[in-house]
Every structure is written in structure tokens, then in C-alpha cells.
Amino acid sequence: MFEFQITAKNNRARTGVFATPHGDLITPVFAPVGTQATVKTLTPEHLKDINATLVLSNTYHLYLRPGDELVRDMGGLHKFMQWPRPILTDSGGFQVFSLAQTRKIDGDGVTFKSHIDGSTHRFTPEKSIAIQENLGADIIMAFDECSDPNDHAYTKLAMERTHRWAERCVKAKTRDDQALFGIIQGGVNPDLRAESAKFISSLDTPGIAIGGLSVGETKDEMHAMLDVIQPLLPENKPRYLMGVGTPEDLINGVLRGVDIFDCVLPTRLARHHSAFAPEGRLNLMNASFARDENPIDATCDCYTCQTFTRGYIRHLIVAKELLAGALISIHNLRALIRLMESIRGYITDGSLESRVPELLGQWRGNAERAGKKLMADG
């Protein structure tokens, strides 16, 4: 279990198979985000139809509501949300720092108030693992502290704390059917990123996550950090770039050896009427689409594009019909999953690097990030 077989390489980019208790993940892979044990507005059937494999769910949210012990007693997260394929849970750390009302951090953990009802809770590395063991995802995360990338003095402190917490998570873990990933931090400081990459690699977890990126730094800074980290990581373990990202970020991440991505961007954009399209990102509420008989993307094989016109979707948006968000979510997710399918094919046939200008060109105008707030609340 949790063996990672690389089947093809194209310079630093790799395609491979990560074996989990709920089936093989073919990488590189993009994971839709199901914050509260549901990818907003979509059924598991919709997700299967777009060939989603890995789905991410958020520990902080599920701990607060409906509660990890309830999920455990209902048979675990796969059964609860009826997703038979692999699931990844984060550690809860990112949401504690970005969503909770107040928080007080110490060496042992974090005390915070729920954003839902203001009630007081405490997460420690051991608690995060216990919650994630109750939830029962295939891939779980070490409890980490994601610091402001612009606060360089604090970044070192947060990184060191993240390392101590990662060791405690490794010790606290009891289930053999879950792969724990340590998380590299270090902000935008190359020395710290290198130190963190080496330390987390030394823990010999079945996979390695890269946290603290796409949180306000520039694209160049993100790429520089990935360039620092990549040569220091073990080859035979999957690398997960947390909370990333845009189509452009996915392409650039794969080129720098990343295997797993997740982001709320496609579903969040969809609920705000924004669709990935060949001519760039479209706000489908725009009156220019009222009589548009084309699908969002004539080259797309998703249910939405195979069935509905832009004009109809625009009507649903204007009429405040919730189906609009679901239909655009299907398309936006399928667009990123198709991108990853293409990339895997290009790695396998050795053409990825030569296709980068074409790929980036196809996605021009779809590149902006969702923003930090969007990452945090699914």
C-alpha cells in the first residue's frame, strides 16, 4: 500500500501511480475540494462522470460539523459522503489560521474559536491525527503552521514548530491504511525551504506536501521555492502542492515535479458565474451571452458542454437558479481534470516540455488566482 510507481518522466515532470485503499491515483492529479464532505452542489455521480479520482475534504470543518466521531460512527468519510475513490484530508491547520475567529498558538498546539458559533477548541498534532483517523481518508496531513510569507522573522519560527509537530504526528498515527504526508514550510525563503524539504524528507512519510504557497507570494516566488525543493525530495514519493491552483499554476507545478494538486478555484468561480473557456475566463452573467447558442467550451466532453448553451446558463444565473452553479462547477472541474489527463499523456509520450507554450496559451485569460480567502472556505 502507498507505493508510488513512476511510469514516465519528462525532465522534472513525472506521471505515476499511487496505490491507496480506495484505488490507484494516476498522477499528476487535480483534486476537487469537498470542504464539508460534499463538493458544493454536485453529487458523487457528477464527480465520477468528470473522472474525478481524489477528493479533498477539510478536517477543521468536519471536526466542527458534523463532528469527526459522528463521521467515524457512520462508517467513515467514504461511506458518509458516498465517495468510493481516494480522499485526502488536510490537518485543519490552515483553516485554524485563516478562518477561526481568534487563535492563540503555543509550542504544543493552537486554541481557537469556531467561526460558526464562537465555541473554544484546541488542536494539537495528536488531536489533528486523531480527528483524521476518525474521518478515515486515504491521505492525511501533518498538523502545520502556515505563516504570512512576508513575515520572514516569524517564518523560521513557524517552520521549526511545523517540524516538531510533524514528528509528533508521525508518532501519534495508529492506522496502517492511511498515508500521512509531512508538510514543507519556509515561506519564500530559499534557505528555509531547503532546510524544511530535507527535514520533512527525513521523516520518511509515504508522501510529501508543500504548504504555504499560493498564499500571497508572486508566481516567480512560488516557482523559485518549487525549484529549491524539488532536487532535495526523494524521487519515489508523491508531492502534493497544497491549495494550488490556477490552470497556469498546475502546468508550472507539474514542470517542477509536483504530482498532486487541489484548489477551490474551479467550484468557487462557478458559483460566481465564472467559467473556464477557450477565449479566457467568462462571466456568464454578461448580457452578451443571452442568446449565445454555443456551449461554454465546444471542445469539452462534460455534461454541461454536451447539453446546455451559454444562453441557457446565463438565464439560470440571471433568474438566480442554483442549477447554474452546479452546471458551471461540472465544467470547470472537468476542464482542470482534462488538463491533467492531457499532461499525463504528454509526459508519457515525452512531449510535455515542447507543448508548454501551447498549453499556457490555451489557458491565457484563465490564470488569475482565487485569492487567499477563497482557498480557506471551500
- 323 in contact with a copy of itself (CB under 8 A): yes
Q: How far is the CB of 309 from a copy of itself (least distance, A)?
A: 7
**Contact set for a copy of itself, span 39-58 (CB under 8 A):** 40-45
Place of cell 504544543: 108
Q: Is the CB of 36 or the CB of 362 nearer to a copy of itself? A: 36
Q: Select from 111, 91, 87, 84 the least CA-distant residue to 33.
A: 87
- 316 in contact with a copy of itself (CB under 8 A): yes
Burial class (CB in 10 A: 0-12, 13-18, 19+), 361: exposed
Q: Any catalytic annotation for residue 249?
A: no
- 165 in contact with a copy of itself (CB under 8 A): no
Q: How far is the CB of 242 from a copy of itself (least distance, A)?
A: 22
Which of left, alpha, beta for 170 (phi over 0: left; psi -120 to 50: alpha)? alpha
- In this structure, the strands spanning 179-184 and 139-141 are parallel
- 65 in contact with a copy of itself (CB under 8 A): yes
Cα–Cα distance for residue pair 29/337, rounded to 1 Å = 7
Q: How far is the CB of 38 from a copy of itself (least distance, A)?
A: 5
Catalytically annotated residue among 68, 90, 249, 259: 90
Burial class (CB in 10 A: 0-12, 13-18, 19+), 99: buried
Q: How far is the CB of 321 from a copy of itself (least distance, A)?
A: 5
Q: Which three cell numbers stand for residue 314?
A: 446565463
Angle at which helices 323-348 and 310-318 cross, to 10°: 140
**What would the x/- binding string for a copy of itself be over residues 270 to 309, using CB under 8 A?**
--------------------xx-x---------x---xxx
**Contact set for a copy of itself, span 99-138 (CB under 8 A):** none
Cα–Cα distance for residue pair 78/9, rounded to 1 Å = 32
- 241 in contact with a copy of itself (CB under 8 A): no
CB-based contact 247:278 (threshold 8 Å): no
**Considering only 123-131, 204-212, 275-283, 312-320, which stretch makes contact with a copy of itself by CB under 8 A?**
312-320
Residues in the chain: 378
- 80 in contact with a copy of itself (CB under 8 A): yes
Q: Is the CB of 38 or the CB of 98 nearer to a copy of itself? A: 38
Rounded to 5°, the CA angle 243-159-111 comes to 80
**Considering only 102-110, 160-168, 256-264, 313-321, which stretch makes contact with a copy of itself by CB under 8 A?**
313-321
**Considering only 9-17, 66-74, 146-154, 162-170, which stretch makes contact with a copy of itself by CB under 8 A?**
66-74
The strand pairing partners of 27, in sequence order, are 16
Q: How far is the CB of 160 from a copy of itself (least distance, A)?
A: 35
- 36 in contact with a copy of itself (CB under 8 A): yes
Catalytically annotated residue among 68, 138, 259, 262: 262
The strand pairing partners of 33, in sequence order, are 56
CB-based contact 170:180 (threshold 8 Å): yes
Cα–Cα distance for residue pair 341/344, rounded to 1 Å = 5
Q: How far is the CB of 35 from a copy of itself (least distance, A)?
A: 9
Q: Is the CB of 60 or the CB of 346 nearer to a copy of itself? A: 60
Place of cell 488536510: 90
Cα–Cα distance for residue pair 255/239, rounded to 1 Å = 12
Q: Any catalytic annotation for residue 90?
A: yes
The sheet that has 13-20: what strands, in order across it? 4-10, 13-20, 23-27
- In this structure, the strands spanning 239-241 and 207-210 are parallel
- 38 in contact with a copy of itself (CB under 8 A): yes
- 268 in contact with a copy of itself (CB under 8 A): no
Q: How far is the CB of 57 from a copy of itself (least distance, A)?
A: 12
Q: Which residues bind a copy of itself (CB under 8 A)?
A: 36-38, 40-45, 61, 65-66, 70, 73-75, 80-82, 290-291, 293, 303, 307-309, 311-312, 314-316, 318-319, 321-323, 325-327
Active-site residues, by number, are: 90, 262
